[in-house]
Amino acid sequence: MKYLFFVCITLFSLQINAETAVYFTPSLDCENQIIRLLNNAKKSIDISVYSINNNNIVAVLKQTHKRGIPIRILTDRTQAAGRGAKSIDLYESGLDIRVHSKHRIEHNKFMVADNEAIITGSYNWTNPASLKNSENCLVVWNDPDTVMKYKKRFEYLWDVNSPEKSDAWFARKIAENKQKSLSFGKTSPISKK
């Protein structure tokens, strides 16, 4: 009976210590919170995000990767191919990134940091989301139940989205980009009359 009482008190105290913070854009608040979580990561980062083109977040993702922190990113394939998208850049930089192949679109926007904190909300990881759009993000710490629900969802999404299809997609897009850059580099001869 004492053990059961101890477990109940422990679980209750964990919920009391849960912390949340809410941020809105246009502002740098959501961007800064993502960067803070990335910079403080010690074990792992799991990200499911619709769109990535925010230069500051991309730079910190690369730095975090160089520090040896495992990062997994799942993103939307149509957004990953869009103008200004940074997904191919992240892939070529060695980050473990997949484009979705299971659902119609990958519209989630969340990150699980060290299995201890999450950031979620409408905030796309883009420059306009920080500077122009009306968006929100919610950061949650010390709430193991909520964090594990997001972790479990990420694991499901990661498992159902084929790494082979994703790698083939990236290979095709990289080849297309190289072909485009070669085409732009060619000049047509000017005929003299």
Distance CA 100, CA 147 (A): 22
DSSP code, position 1:
-
How far are the Cα atoms of 15, 91, 111 from residue 143, in angstroms, in the given order? 6, 32, 14
According to the model, what pLDDT value does residue 183 have? Answer: 77
The model's pTM is 0.85
CATH superfamily of 17-173: Endonuclease Chain A (3.30.870.10)
Confidence of residue 12 (pLDDT cuts 50, 70, 90): low
Each residue of 59-107: pLDDT tens digit?
999 999 999 999 999 999 999 998 899 999 999 999 999 999 888 999 9
Give domain limits for the chain: 17-173
Mean pLDDT, rounded, for 24-40: 98
Residues in the chain: 193
CA angle 6–12–14, rounded 5-degree value: 105
- pLDDT of the residue at 3: 56
Helices (H), 17-143: 29-40, 55-66, 77-80, 87-92, 127-131
pLDDT at 185: 64
